[in-house]
Amino acid sequence: MGKFWLFAFILWQIIPKQAAVTFGGGVGINIGNAGGFWIGGGINTNTNNNPTPSNPSVSKLSTAYTALQAWKSAITDDPLGILETWVGPDVCSYKGVFCAGSQGAMPPFVSAIDLNHANLQGTLVKELSMLTDISILHLNSNRFHCTIPETFKYISSLQELDLSNNHFSGPFPTVVLYLPNLVYLDLRLNNLSGLLPDDLFNKRLDAIFLNNNRFEGELPQNLGNSPASVINLANNKFSGNIPVSFGLASYKLKEILLLNNQLTGCIPEGVGLFSEMQVFDVSRNSLMGRLPDTVSCLSDIEVLNLAHNKLSGELPDLACSLRSLMNLTVAYNFFSGFSQECHKLLFRNAGFISR
């Protein structure tokens, strides 16, 4: 669910037209002479250290130098030696830092930072808000902790924010709601807790990853308002019902994962209105009642996981005759029986699991 296509599109917009884009075994993008970038491949490990031409007098790079040096001072452990390249005013030659604008009329500026899998330990500093032109900030799989500075709201160009698999704590960082161009938000695998703000699902995000934290309370009633194509809230402590309005507003949702929470009540009828839904996983909750007939409208559904709940009644033909269904899991419920169509599914290569 990395949304690699979205990342590639954003980079295509911000890198100079002369930049070379190569494909093979992943997506490799060389940005001028500043080094290589591997989408989904972690930090930049290209050994070509020829710096992008820059002028220390250019105010944007001078500002970036101040911001990055302040951040470097707040990083207490760098086992891979990534920051050894963060020396001098030519920030475009820093490993993991990418610039744009150097080959056109526009002066160069820092457009992206990718330090995925760098195993850095430290905190984010308020000076990072000085990087107002940055579109991509990827810091997954590090050891950053504490909270996200409130000054992040001034990074108005930011489109992708990936802080997953770190040690951030505290409540949901509402500062991200003030980023006007944000479309990809990944905060999974942290220690965030408390309630989710309603405004999160009013924001024009395409991907929301909040799984594997310690969020709790009821799901916001406007959950279905989100225009996101992917929402992952799995492995938290959410309770109460899935909002009745779920499905009545959004139509783009392709994947929603609510597994391993403490949800109760019934699966709302509105779920069938997600005509483009491909993955619906509500397993390991305490949902009850019958499966709504509207599931027959999920014509694109590939994975339907209802396991480990308290659902009852007969599993209807409608659920087992979905044309795109590849995996239907209904184990550990109270279904009284399976329809003829569901029995046929047992003999197809469709991943039907019941116990």
- The pLDDT of residue 38 is 30
C-beta of residue 29 within 8 angstroms of C-beta of residue 19: yes
Query: For residue 306, is it within any domain?
Result: no
Could you read off the pLDDT tens digit of each residue along the chain, which spans 355 residues? 444 444 444 444 444 433 332 222 333 333 233 333 333 333 443 333 333 334 433 589 999 999 999 999 999 999 999 999 999 999 999 999 999 986 666 789 999 999 999 999 999 999 999 999 999 999 999 999 999 999 999 999 999 999 999 999 999 999 999 999 999 999 999 999 999 999 999 999 999 999 999 999 999 999 988 999 999 999 999 999 999 888 776 678 999 999 999 999 999 988 888 889 999 999 999 999 999 988 888 989 999 999 999 999 888 777 888 889 999 999 999 988 777 767 766 555 445 555 5
- The pLDDT of residue 345 is 65
C-beta of residue 100 within 8 angstroms of C-beta of residue 109: yes
Question: What tokens appear for 2 in the block?
Answer: 């990395």
- The pLDDT of residue 303 is 95
Q: Which domain holds residue 172?
A: 1-194
Q: Which H/E stretch holds residue 317?
A: helix 317-320
Q: Under the phi-then-psi rule, with left for phi > 0, alpha for psi from -120 to 50, and beta for the rest, what region is 235?
A: left
Q: How far apart are CA 42 and CA 34, in angstroms?
A: 16
Query: For residue 283, is it within any domain?
Result: no
Q: Which residue has the tokens 């408390």?
A: 194
- The pLDDT of residue 355 is 54
Please provide the average confidence, as pLDDT, over all residues in the chain: 83
**Amino acid (1-letter code) at residue 18:** Q
Q: How far apart are CA 38 and CA 28, in angstroms?
A: 5
Query: For residue 154, is it within any domain?
Result: yes
- The pLDDT of residue 348 is 54
- Distant-in-sequence, close-in-space partners of 81: CB < 8 Å, separation ≥ 6: none
- The pLDDT of residue 109 is 94
Query: For residue 138, is it within any domain?
Result: yes
Query: For residue 218, is it within any domain?
Result: no
C-beta of residue 285 within 8 angstroms of C-beta of residue 262: yes
- The pLDDT of residue 318 is 77
- Report which of 205, 282, 207 is spatially closest to residue 242, judged by C-alpha positions: 282
**CATH number of domain containing 90:** 3.80.10.10
Q: How far apart are CA 165 and CA 213, in angstroms?
A: 10
Q: How do residues 62-73 score in pLDDT, each as one tens digit?
A: 999 999 999 999
C-beta of residue 243 within 8 angstroms of C-beta of residue 268: yes
- The pLDDT of residue 244 is 87
Query: For residue 323, is it within any domain?
Result: no
Query: For residue 320, is it within any domain?
Result: no
Look at the chain and report how many structural domains it folds into.
1
Query: For residue 249, is it within any domain?
Result: no
- The pLDDT of residue 129 is 96
